[in-house]
Amino acid sequence: MIEVLRAGLCDLVMDRGRPGRGAFGVPTGGAADPAALAAANRLVGNDADAAGLEITLSGPALRFPAGGVAALTGARFVATRGSGAAVAWDQTLVLAAGETLTLERAEAGCRCWLALGGGLAVPPVMGSRSTFLPASFGGFQGRPLQAGDVLPVGGRGGEVRLLRAQPPASLAGKGLRVVAGPQAEQFDDAGLAAFFSGNYCVDSAFDRRGLRLLGATVTHRRVELPSQGVLPGAIQIPPDGQPIILGWDGPVTGGYPVVAGVIAADWPRLAQLEPGDAVRFATIELETARAQAVARWKIEGLG
Amino acid sequence: MGKPKTSRLYLKAAPDPNATWRWVSERGLRLATGDATLACYATLSLLNFPEIEDMIPADGSLLLILRRGELVSADLQEALAVPLANTQATTGQLHEIAVEYGGTAGPDLSALAQQAGMDAATYISSHSAVEYTVAFLGFQPGFPYLRGLPPALHAPRRASPRVRVPKGSVAIGGAYTGIYPANGPGGWHIIGRTDAVLFDPQREAPALLLPGDCVRFVAA
């Protein structure tokens, strides 16, 4: 088990999510960068679909009464260990009995993932241990962690292997690549020019449901249309013309025109945007988007 | 020759306005299914194509979400080429939902009735006389968009949404009536409340109502 001494801004139990429930109004959800969580899981000897923590902007202080194996991937946070040892990202960490792991603010980027040997053993809900905040279910009691919480950890067999992971190079890229959306032709040339050549800024209205952008106003010919199915990365233009990028826990249907969609290969970049960040869009062809290989993390022995 | 149109510049391939397929992103294939949306959803559910991760029926369209890295298979392409009008939707289950209309349970009922030019009792009997069909679920888990609202009862959404709509609120939004499964913000007009539990993630079937099910409201 793990004790939460102090909670971060929004620490959520996450795994790969619960795909296949869209017709019930439930999005897949799960870790904002599932490959980063899967890599952290491999570093601690877990199955790739084990549950870990997704930590946003400011992290928790955790105590490991019986010790444990942990790994961090994603954005670098200011972090310390009770033992005084450095907290390395992208590698296996072995924590002594009673040791604390404290994460402060993110140094750059927005989210990191913490995997724990054995995985977080919260009960699965609708086939997943991921927290779904909009309807308060899954994860740890359907909510972000709080001080005093005690998290159950699954059993872990075998010896500890010390491993290191190398993130895919594509994570370092800037900008978001998009393909034209289903209502793209409803926007006039001025609207499209504003959207594609504009500099946007991530608004403080920002969570896993969606991310509001502030910048050039995108004008369009029609405001309301029948509700249509949407998926993460879809960029909706509400009547005020300021784009909204739908996130992992966004609604499954939406009534605003979708000008473009962030390609799946760039969803991990979306996961690292924080309020105040600058955003630009680059349009690519559908076939090019489809040819983007699934980015692979390289895992190798340490030392 | 003039300069290329801005839309050509930014959209690369401009969507074909007549196509029944549209890509929402490279993983989301939106089919214009019209009145055959539920039939198409039922058919594709039965055929269970391995490249489809999720399907979201909506208002006249069906979104297929492909698994990462998967393409539309020849089999799926063939299934989508079959005229949609030939597919039959199976009739879902009929649910009777008890509603407390008006008063504090339905604060917008009297204003809506007035706009529709009827008294509250007539409004309630119009709303409860219809057998509605669950067109799709969206907005919140388990939130049903019910088709069949009499045209006299259609009402545009509220100009400013409420910050908190109580769980179980029966509401009107445009041409639809619906029920809020959980407390939360909402822009529809509230005409009543039910104790029916629309969504419970711990239940074997989390959503009470499924696309294609029928609903009849009973005044409590």
Both tokens assigned to B119 = 């008294």
Please list, residue by residue across A1-40, b when 16 or more beta carbons sit within 10 angstroms of its beta carbon and e when fewer do. Answer: ebebeebbebbbbbbbbbbbbbbbbbbbbbbbbbbbbbbb
Query: Across the interface, which of A135, A227, A293 has its CB nearest the CB of B141?
Result: A135
Q: Which residues of B touch A227 (CB under 8 A)?
A: 58-59, 136, 138, 145
Contact between A179 and B206 using a beta-carbon 8 Å cutoff: no
Q: Helix and strand tally (H, E) in chain A?
A: 4, 22
**Distance between CA atoms of B86 and B90, rounded to whole angstroms?**
13
**Distance between CA atoms of A262 and A233, rounded to whole angstroms?**
5
B194 and B111, same domain (yes or no): yes
Average pLDDT over residues A212-216: 94
HEC secondary structure over chain B = CCCCCHHHHHHCCCCCCCCCEEEEECCEEEEECHHHHHHHHHHHHHHCCCCEEEEEECCCEEEEEECCCCCCCHHHHHHHHCCHHHCCCCCCCEEEEEEEECCCCCCCHHHHHHHCCCCHHHHHHHHHCCCEEEEEECCCCCCEEEECCCHHHCECCCCCCEEEECCCEEEEEECEEEECCCCEEECCEEEEECCCCCECCCCCCCECCCCCCEEEEEEC
The full DSSP string for A193-226 is HHHHH--EEEEEEESSSEEEEESS---BS-----
Nearest to A285 by CA among B198, B13, B62: B13
Is B37 a member of any domain?
Answer: yes
B17 pLDDT above the threshold of 60: no
B206 pLDDT above the threshold of 80: yes
Instruction: Count other C-beta atoms under 10 Å from residue A123's C-beta.
Output: 10
CB pairs under 8 A between A and B: 182
Q: Does B118 touch chain A (CB under 8 A)?
A: no
Interface of A with B in 207-226 (CB under 8 A): 226
Q: Which residues of B touch A290 (CB under 8 A)?
A: 26, 71
Amino acid at A136: S
B126 and B209, same domain (yes or no): yes
Nearest to A45 by CA among A101, A97, A116: A116
Amino acid at A163: L
Domain boundary among B62, B86, B110: B86
Average pLDDT over residues A252-257: 91
Q: Percent of chain A beyond pLDDT 90?
A: 78
B165 pLDDT above the threshold of 80: yes
Q: Does B18 touch chain A (CB under 8 A)?
A: no
Domain boundary among B86, B107, B137: B86
Q: Which residues of A touch B63 (CB under 8 A)?
A: 22, 228-231
B57 and B153, same domain (yes or no): no
User: How much is the mean pLDDT over chain B?
Assistant: 88
Residue at token pair 């007035």: B114
B62 and B100, same domain (yes or no): no
Contact between B7 and A196 using a beta-carbon 8 Å cutoff: no
What is the domain-level CATH number for residue B142? 2.40.100.10
Both tokens assigned to A245 = 């990028």
pLDDT at position B113 = 97
A185-205 pLDDT, tens digit each: 888 888 888 998 889 999 998
Minimal C-alpha gap between A28 and chain B (Å): 9
Q: Note the CATH number of domain A171-291.
A: 2.40.100.10
B88 pLDDT above the threshold of 70: no
Interface of A with B in 227-256 (CB under 8 A): 227-231, 233-234, 251-253
pLDDT at position B4 = 44
A71 pLDDT above the threshold of 80: yes
Average pLDDT over residues A30-38: 97
Is B10 a member of any domain?
Answer: yes
Q: Rounded to whole angstroms, what are the CA distances from A197 to A58, A193, A272, B220?
A: 32, 6, 22, 56
Is B1 a member of any domain?
Answer: no
Minimal C-alpha gap between A27 and chain B (Å): 8
Q: Does A276 touch chain B (CB under 8 A)?
A: no
pLDDT at position A64 = 97
Query: Across the interface, which of B41, B62, B137 has its CB nearest the CB of A25?
Result: B137
Reported ipTM: the value is 0.92
pLDDT at position B11 = 55
B82 pLDDT above the threshold of 80: no
Domain boundary among B53, B86, B119: B86
What is the domain-level CATH number for residue B73? 3.30.1360.40
Is B141 a member of any domain?
Answer: yes
**Distance between CA atoms of A43 and B53, rounded to whole angstroms?**
27
Query: Across the interface, which of B15, B61, B145 has its CB nearest the CB of A180?
Result: B15
A265-293 pLDDT, tens digit each: 999 999 999 999 999 999 998 888 888 87
A158 pLDDT above the threshold of 80: no
* pLDDT confidence band for B90 (50 / 70 / 90): low
Q: Percent of chain A beyond pLDDT 70?
A: 98
Stretch among B7-21, B65-79, B132-146 having the lowest mean pLDDT: B7-21
Stretch among A73-87, A247-261, B66-80, B192-206 having the lowest mean pLDDT: B66-80
Average pLDDT over residues A107-135: 97
B123 pLDDT above the threshold of 90: yes
Query: Across the interface, which of A138, A226, A285 has its CB nearest the CB of B13?
Result: A285
B59 and B110, same domain (yes or no): no
Kindly identify which residue of chain A lies nearest to residue B140, measuring between CA atoms: A25
pLDDT at position A47 = 94
B104 and B33, same domain (yes or no): no
Cα A32 to chain centroid, rounded: 2
B3 pLDDT above the threshold of 50: no
Average pLDDT over residues B86-115: 90
Contact between A264 and B182 using a beta-carbon 8 Å cutoff: no
Q: Does A31 touch chain B (CB under 8 A)?
A: no
A1-17 pLDDT, tens digit each: 999 999 999 999 999 99
B116 and B170, same domain (yes or no): yes
Contact between A23 and B57 using a beta-carbon 8 Å cutoff: yes
**Distance between CA atoms of B73 and A211, rounded to whole angstroms?**
33
B55 and B164, same domain (yes or no): no
Stretch among A22-36, A94-108, A285-299, B102-116 having the lowest mean pLDDT: A285-299
Residue at token pair 């939406």: A254
User: How much is the mean pLDDT over chain A?
Assistant: 93
Number of domains within chain B: 2
Domain encompassing residue B168: 94-219
For an interface test with A, give the residue of B20, B26, B167, B210 to mutate (most A CBs within 10 A).
B26
3-state DSSP assignment of residue A26: coil
Domain residue extents for chain A: 2-167, 171-291
Q: What values do phi and psi take at A280, rounded to 5?
A: -130, 150
* pLDDT confidence band for B83 (50 / 70 / 90): low
B10 and B79, same domain (yes or no): yes
pLDDT at position B1 = 38
For an interface test with A, give the residue of B3, B6, B10, B208 to mutate (most A CBs within 10 A).
B10
Average pLDDT over residues A54-66: 97
